[in-house]
Amino acid sequence: MRLRNLIHTLPLMACVLTPMLSTVAAQGAGPFAVIDKWKIGGEGGWDYLAADSGNHRLYVTHGTKVEVIDSVTGKVINTITGLKGTHGVALDASGKFGYISDGGANAVVVFDRSTFAKVASITAGTNPDGILFEPVTKTVWAFNGRSEDATVIDAATQKVVTTIKLSGKPEFPQADGKGTVFVNIETKNSIARLDAKTLKQTAEWPLKGCESPSGMAMDQEHRRLYSVCDGKVMAATDANSGKVLKLIPIGDGPDAAGYDAKNQQVFSSNGDGTLTVVNTKNDAFNVEQTVETQKSGRTMAFDQATGRIYIVVAEMGPRPAATPENPRPRPPVVPGSFSVLVVGKK
């Protein structure tokens, strides 16, 4: 039976449902909406993307390449090719170099940000995934999913400094700008804290109620970490004590998060076709809006300069049948449908 018929025929139930419906409507309405869609095309899957606010560029990992997009026009201005399986991009503080985690090659590929030419390939662990530039020590950290460790690279020499063993499979990392690096440990439902100066792990905190944490965002000023998890939750964690402050409801299938320091909002991009917007002022941690995006839109980047969120999407074909070798097959990407959604304020 349709909901409106229930309301007409059951007045008492209508009284109960009205506040619920108002809440849903409030979450759907709001200042954020999809304001543009940039069709990139091509074939293959994708992973993380990175926004270079100062230069109005967006770096998007796309199969065996990284596409460099002008974030004003939405046009592809360059493509970094010759890679084997890209996951993430980190940008140094000087504006000179970028670093690609090429999981298929077990390497970190260095490129010149002015010419986009590849200048070095540095051997990492097995399947480097999440990657960041740590500004205090000027090091690059590649987190290797299959070897369950972190490769630390000196940005001045482009040489590996050390490899730090972790307790499980690392996912996305964040740096606090003061010499500490945090990373979600997906298989342990935890956050590892690492000292970039001593190159040692200093703590590991359980994320109670958070299964398979993947994407992470950080509020450096208020020392808050936000990990997106399976089960439609985001864990807000105190970055000093490791205490989980709240589990926040989000959409299904998230893989990335972003933080807006100016407006104190955290975002979760969800594969179910939604973007969750959370107010974090005074540790409110309340959902302000749920924005309709597109199914498959699980990774994102936030542009602090414009306040816009970029979400990668594509149309997906039917999921293949499971096999003993691949019990959880992913549906294929429809060729030519690869796109970037631009979410901004109306």
Closest-CA residue to 47 (of 259, 296, 268): 296
pLDDT given for residue 129 in this prediction: 98
List pLDDT tens digits, range 132-156: 999 999 999 999 999 999 999 999 9
pLDDT tens per residue across all 346 residues of the chain: 433 333 333 333 333 333 333 333 344 467 999 999 999 999 989 999 999 999 999 999 999 999 999 999 999 999 999 999 999 999 999 999 999 999 999 999 999 999 999 999 999 999 999 999 999 999 999 999 999 999 999 999 999 999 999 999 999 999 999 999 999 999 999 999 999 999 999 999 999 999 999 999 999 999 999 999 999 999 999 999 999 999 999 999 999 999 999 999 999 999 999 999 999 999 999 999 999 999 999 999 999 999 999 999 999 989 889 888 888 888 889 999 999 999 999 8
Element (H, E) at 196: none
User: Dihedral sign, CA of 95, 339, 298, 345?
Assistant: positive
Close Cβ partners of 213 (under 8 Å, ≥ 6 residues apart)? 171, 184, 185, 186, 189, 190, 191, 207, 227, 228, 229, 235
Please state the domain extents for the chain. 31-319+331-345
pTM over 0.85: yes
Contacts of 164 (CB under 8 A, 6+ apart): 149, 150, 152, 194, 199, 200, 201
d(CA 246, CA 233): 10
Cα(220)–Cα(271) distance, integer angstroms: 27
CATH architecture of 31-319+331-345: 7 Propeller (2.130)
**CA–CA distance from 53 to each of 56, 130, 174, 320 (Å)?**
5, 20, 18, 39
Contacts of 18 (CB under 8 A, 6+ apart): none
Count of other CB atoms within 10 angstroms of residue 289: 20
C-alpha to C-alpha distance for 160 and 152, rounded to whole angstroms:
6
Q: Which residues of 127-138 are buried (b: 16+ CB within 10 A; e: fewer)?
A: bbbbbbbbbebe
Q: Where are the beta strands (DSSP E) in 158-212?
A: 159-165, 170-175, 180-185, 190-195, 200-206
The number of residues in the chain equals 346
How far is residue 113's CA from residue 56's CA, in Å, rounded to a whole number? 12
Cα–Cα distance between 132 and 218 in angstroms, integer? 13
Tokens of 232: 């439609």
Phi (first) and psi of residue 164, to 5 degrees: -110, 120
Q: Find the radius of gyration of the CA atoms of the chain.
A: 20
Q: Which amino acid makes up residue 197?
A: K
CA–CA distances in Å: residue 84 to residues 79, 88, 248: 14, 13, 36
Q: What is the pLDDT of residue 18?
A: 38
Whole-angstrom Cα distance, residue 260 to residue 244? 20
Tell me phi and psi for residue 103, to 5 degrees. Answer: -60, -35
pLDDT tens by residue, 2-48: 333 333 333 333 333 333 333 333 444 679 999 999 999 999 899 99
User: Which 8-state DSSP code applies to residue 114?
Assistant: T
Structure tokens at 220: 């450096």
